A and B are shown apart, each in its own frame.
Chain A
């Protein structure tokens, strides 16, 4: 499975179709979706509301097991509870009854990692996202951006090689969103885990996705896969190429 460049595929999806059962009717959500993401790459999923982006992420995380087609994660058929996969959902990630520290440590608790190892890991990731001072607060005492960073910290604490994010920044104001996008980029450049990010924002897709997968209206099909190799270059957001790509994507999304 290793190709000549030594670039293993982290995610390989072939002809994936998913349908939900609703009142005895099969409602298709995704139809014949194929794409691949190399190990250590980033991918942005973009498409109109209801086209199946979250569904696709659920399939990749292993939480949704009923689909047809082939989905390989790290060369293995996708399975629930793969230990190196972390999923961040939009709003519901954090448990209101746990303090920041324990929210971040939750994945470790569940995996039976405790004691000094747990403390050390939680401290490290909280420092990484700049929230160590907030460790004794409850989620309700944090701003939206801080909460999202806690959710990211919780995922990072698992030391994932595949990070799945469902519209992680969409409820934030523009300024905070850009800051967090940059922070995510920094983290990715340091750790080089594979990132799959669902977004509604064209800018965000271009800023973060080396591969941008454009999905069609419901049921989701791949409209196009856009390569965007300059992700992570300093000042990319200000280049003419960035803006040109915005226009290209906008046209693909709103034909």
Chain B
């Protein structure tokens, strides 16, 4: 039963990748412009570029994105659970959250660079700042939406505050957390790209922009493929995590 679901899913993934490549091919043939190379040459360049230095940019970008995701999760998860369950705190924090949430936080990059330097830390701080809210808000809402009956019946078993968090709130927000992480990982890569195009010497954003400035479109697309791959790997990792962490969703 599980096995079959897995095969189905893999087939669906393969089909959607094939569909994407087909669309790309068609568009490239129609445009017939060097600005949009066809998929095969782009992939050949990608494979050639990996040993030539692309691997380093890929690793650096991966490191920045993954660390940012982990950091913002480590901050947003406890905050979200507490704000969702403890009304006193939420009353204090809610105005702040709603004021800061819509502000395009990338405008803080210059400030962060002044404060934290132009290296990894300012980039990680920027990504974390952006996706923290994207993770916090859904987790808070999920924690808040837990049925009072569930809480009461666990309380009636003698549960204290800590037991409620451990047995009810944490597992209840897990699925929302993973969904939020999927959305946030996309945002994280977009913000990463932006941050790496500004005073930067490494990372996929830099690699891409550098290729672009040299009109090396095939290399540029090799960089795009690498970014897509990064997103895909994160997505697969989250899928795997969901299977491990939320087995009750798959029965």
> How distant is the Cα of A158 from the Cα of B156 in the complex, in angstroms?
11
Say which residue of B152, B160, B247, B251 sits within 8 Å of A89 (CB atoms). B152
Beta-carbon contact of A110 and B167 below 8 Å: yes
Q: Is A69 an interface residue (CB 8 A)?
A: no
Also in contact, A107 and B157, with CB within 8 A (given A89-B152, A91-B149) = yes
Which residue of the partner chain A has the closest CB to B172?
A97
| Chain B residues whose C-beta falls within 8 Å of the C-beta of A96 in the assembled complex | 248
Beta-carbon contact of A95 and B156 below 8 Å: no
Q: Is B168 an interface residue (CB 8 A)?
A: yes
Beta-carbon contact of B171 and A95 below 8 Å: yes
Beta-carbon contact of A92 and B153 below 8 Å: yes
Interface hit among A8-16, A80-88, A200-208: A80-88
Beta-carbon contact of B157 and A140 below 8 Å: no
Q: Which of B137-179 contact A (CB under 8 A)?
A: 147, 149-150, 152-160, 163, 167-168, 171-172, 174
Which residue of the partner chain B has the closest CB to A57?
B156
Q: Is A189 an interface residue (CB 8 A)?
A: no
Beta-carbon contact of B251 and A138 below 8 Å: yes
Chain A CB within 10 A, most for which of B158, B160, B172, B174:
B158
Also in contact, A95 and B167, with CB within 8 A (given A87-B153, A89-B149, A140-B248) = yes
| Chain B residues whose C-beta falls within 8 Å of the C-beta of A93 in the assembled complex | 149, 153
- If over half of B's interface residues share one DSSP class (helix, strand or loop), that class is named, otherwise mixed; here it is helix
Beta-carbon contact of B248 and A61 below 8 Å: no
| Chain A residues whose C-beta falls within 8 Å of the C-beta of B251 in the assembled complex | 137-138, 140-141
Q: Is B50 an interface residue (CB 8 A)?
A: no
| Chain B residues whose C-beta falls within 8 Å of the C-beta of A109 in the assembled complex | 163, 167
When each residue 51-79 of chain A gets 1 if its CB lies under 8 Å from chain B and 0 otherwise, what string results? 00000001001010000000000000000
B224 to chain A, nearest CB (A): 39
- If over half of A's interface residues share one DSSP class (helix, strand or loop), that class is named, otherwise mixed; here it is loop
Beta-carbon contact of B153 and A89 below 8 Å: yes
Beta-carbon contact of B246 and A97 below 8 Å: yes
Q: Is A106 an interface residue (CB 8 A)?
A: yes
Q: Is A147 an interface residue (CB 8 A)?
A: no
Also in contact, A97 and B159, with CB within 8 A (given A87-B153, A138-B251) = no
Beta-carbon contact of A110 and B163 below 8 Å: yes
Which residue of the partner chain B has the closest CB to A151?
B153
| Chain A residues whose C-beta falls within 8 Å of the C-beta of B158 in the assembled complex | 81, 83, 107, 110-111
| Chain B residues whose C-beta falls within 8 Å of the C-beta of A85 in the assembled complex | 156
Q: Is A121 an interface residue (CB 8 A)?
A: no
Q: A63-B156, A106-B157, A110-B158 are in contact. List 18 more A-B contacts (CB 8 A).
A: A58-B152, A63-B152, A63-B155, A81-B158, A86-B157, A89-B149, A89-B153, A92-B152, A92-B153, A93-B149, A97-B246, A110-B160, A110-B163, A111-B158, A137-B251, A138-B247, A138-B248, A138-B251
